[in-house]
Amino acid sequence: MEAASLSIFQSFVAVTGGLIMLVSGGESLVAGATRLAKRLGMKPLVIGLTVVAFGTSIPELFVSLTASLQGYPDIMIGNVVGSNIANVGLILGCCGLLAPLSLTIQEVWIELLLVSCGSILLMFCSGYGFFPRAMGLLFVMALASYTILISYNSLNAKNRSNPAIALEDQKKNMPLLLTLGLIILGLLLLAWGSNLFIKGAVDIARYFKISELVIGLTLAAIGTSLPELASSIAALRHNESGLLIGNVIGSNMFNLFMVLGLTGLIKPFALSPELLRRDLPVMLFFTLVLIPILHKNGGTKRRHGLLFLGAYCVYFYNLL
């Protein structure tokens, strides 16, 4: 009994240490990537949809790849789906309760369409019980095309507006070497933290006889969503609604198309029937409900934040 208690204590220490490294690595990566984007003259919404969103989703990528390669596909898929649900329900819900967020549907309709289509395609794959390599390739190519297009358009618009200001902004930014150092440090922390986290999470699941899917949907999903929460609160503090909502939508897009796509491209995986019955419809709901809210209100109100957070609490309770 003492040996078992010691073992579970070590597992919790591993999970905690892994999460600290994931959050720290995500913060370092986002800080470096955001400064790099500003050097290139990208506007806040585009930075939120791409650089910040992708950077804060890197923990999900590392955890998912590590889980899949080590033979725990349920933790991997649970991490992706659970993170997407937590991003809207928990993060956007909490931030929406604190303050109204302004963003029109016209600014993010392409991103919402992509996330909705990706969610529906994943539901079809779940119906067959398998995510094939061809679907992984399609997902990765779709995100790569989107990122190249939006970055190209943003940089062109910035340079056309006032090249002199763009050059002056670059001079005020952190030195390039230090920026790259932050990015490299973040990647190293993420790689180490994801291995430590997965090992501890699997041990905890086995000890308490919890399914790996539920561990992925709860512990892994919320833990790897902490960078999104931190960056969203920072954006809220600086009154950057576009960056905040862009971070949430962009993170969900990255989780689906890059995290899931790249994992499936490297190692195709089976999908649990539970996903189609419970989790995937919830994920799709949280995406689709944003469309009428943003279209009608030009953003979210506090009542919408309460709706998101309440729905997430109900979902989370049903998992336990």
Contact 217, 77 (CB under 8 A): no
Domain count, the chain: 1
The residues with which 269 forms a beta bridge, in sequence order, are 131
User: If you average pLDDT over residues 53-74, what whole number do you get?
Assistant: 84
User: Parallel, antiparallel, or unpaired for β 130-131 and 269-270?
Assistant: antiparallel
User: If you average pLDDT over residues 270-289, what whole number do you get?
Assistant: 93
How far apart, in whole angstroms, are the C-alpha atoms of residue 75 and residue 197? Answer: 11
Specify the CATH number for the domain of residue 190. 1.20.1420.30
What secondary structure does DSSP assign to 139-165, as a single string? HHHHHHHHHHHHHHHHHHHHHHH-HHH
Say yes or no to pLDDT of 44 above 70. no
What is the 8-class DSSP label of residue 225?
A: T
pTM: predicted TM-score of the whole model, two decimal places? 0.82
Contacts of 32 by beta carbon, 8 Å cutoff, 6+ apart: 179, 180, 181, 182, 183, 185, 186
Among all chains, which residue has been given the structure tokens 């490294």? Answer: 21
Contact 200, 61 (CB under 8 A): no
pLDDT at 156: 67
* Three-state secondary-structure class, residue 36: helix
Domain with 99 in it: 2-319
User: If you average pLDDT over residues 7-21, what whole number do you get?
Assistant: 85
What is the 8-class DSSP label of residue 91?
A: I
Q: Which of 58-72, 125-139, 159-173 has the lowest mean pLDDT?
A: 159-173
Say yes or no to pLDDT of 165 above 50. no
Average pLDDT score, the chain: 84
How far apart, in whole angstroms, are the C-alpha atoms of residue 240 and residue 43? Answer: 11
pLDDT band at 254 (very low <50, low <70, confident <90, very high): very high
pLDDT at 3: 54
Per-position b or e across 221-252, b if 16+ CB within 10 A of its CB: bbbbbbbbbbbbebbbeeebbbbbbbbbbbbb
